[in-house]
Amino acid sequence: MGGPAKDARAIHPELGLCRSCLGRVASRRRGPPRPLDPDLAAECFVCRGLMDGLGRLAEVALDRISGYDYETFTVGATLKPSVLDRDDYIRSRTGAAGAASIKSALTGEVGRMMSRRTKKRVDRADPDLTVLLDTRFGSCEVRSRPVVVYMRYTKTRRGVPQKRIACGSCDGRGCGECGFSGSGPSIEGVLAGYLLERLGGADVRFTWVGGEDRDSLVLGRGRPVYARVRNPARSAAALPESTSLDGVEASGMRAAAGVPARLPPFRSMVRIVVRFGGEPDLRLIRTLAGRVLVATGPGRPSTKEVGSVRYRRMSADSFRMDAEVEGGTPIKRLVSGEGVEPSVSSVLGTECACARFDFLDIIGNS
């Protein structure tokens, strides 16, 4: 591609063009060529030598993407406005307005250079990597396609919330107590830290299939969750099938096509410790099975299904209750009766409160 095109077909009597820029416009120019003085400017009017340095830009890009897993990529670029203006001018003056722009030529050639070196394919429609060159500074930014990971997690340690909450010592500013993360221990923090360590990436966003209290255990097959990792360096193939993470066990980790727009229905097997007053007939708790109405605000209440209920008395004022409930059933309110009818309190005819509840299994949303 080097230097001004002194032996190429002339397209303008006053302006010198390098072979790359001349080739772009000459191939689309209408009418006979105009002679070009071979002794004119040694520097291309349009690119000012930019197209001669594409090899260096390709090397910068190749270095930046060397740590990424990918099969396809595309190249974009930012050019100086003055370069784009001169390119528009020369294409207009020569009747070659339909010729490829300098930006298209640059990204196309760099893409071909990179493809030859990496044996990876350029895909402008749906690439794994997007390489963004900034020719003003000779720099490069890489953006990778997000990875969505599906998994289930179990939680065997109480006192850990599902979602991140601000550190109580620094109110989210970051301190030695929280490892300068700004948040205390959480399932979200544990899983996000692991995924970023294994896959790289900028951040992780979770879509939870239900939730639990900080003091609740999650057992059985675990709770399903979708994790969207933004700008990862590696694919989900870098993840093991399962791993143990300080009281959290993640299993069934695999790549997902995406986060469902609407999560499929699920059911939970819950074990609830209920405290009560008076002397109720605990056998009545079995009548709770069936549909319950849950007030969710103004308008029509939602309906949730409660499956078979089993119980076992624990003390003079408490019993343990196992039930299969539809996903989204508010467990504490199901016991107290606040906005839920029928409830444990209403069927027993006495005031009841949820002392603790655990998830024995999450059924569905496999």
Identify the H or E element spanning 83. Answer: helix 81-93
3-state secondary structure of 366: coil
Residues in the chain: 366
For residue 174, the cross-strand partners are none
Between CA 194 and CA 344 the distance in angstroms is: 40
* 109 neighbors 55 (Cβ within 8 angstroms): no
Pairing of strands 72-78, 129-134: parallel
Between CA 359 and CA 127 the distance in angstroms is: 41
Residues with active-site annotation = 213
Of the candidates 239, 254, 278, 266, the one whose C-alpha atom is nearest the C-alpha of residue 364 is 266
* One-letter amino acid for residue 125 of the chain: A
3-state secondary structure of 252: strand
| Cis ω before 342 (30° cut-off from 0) | yes
Of the candidates 149, 142, 137, the one whose C-alpha atom is nearest the C-alpha of residue 202 is 142
How many CB atoms neighbour CB 92 within 10 A?
A: 10
* 239 neighbors 199 (Cβ within 8 angstroms): yes
Classify residue 222 as left (phi > 0), alpha (psi -120 to 50) or beta.
left
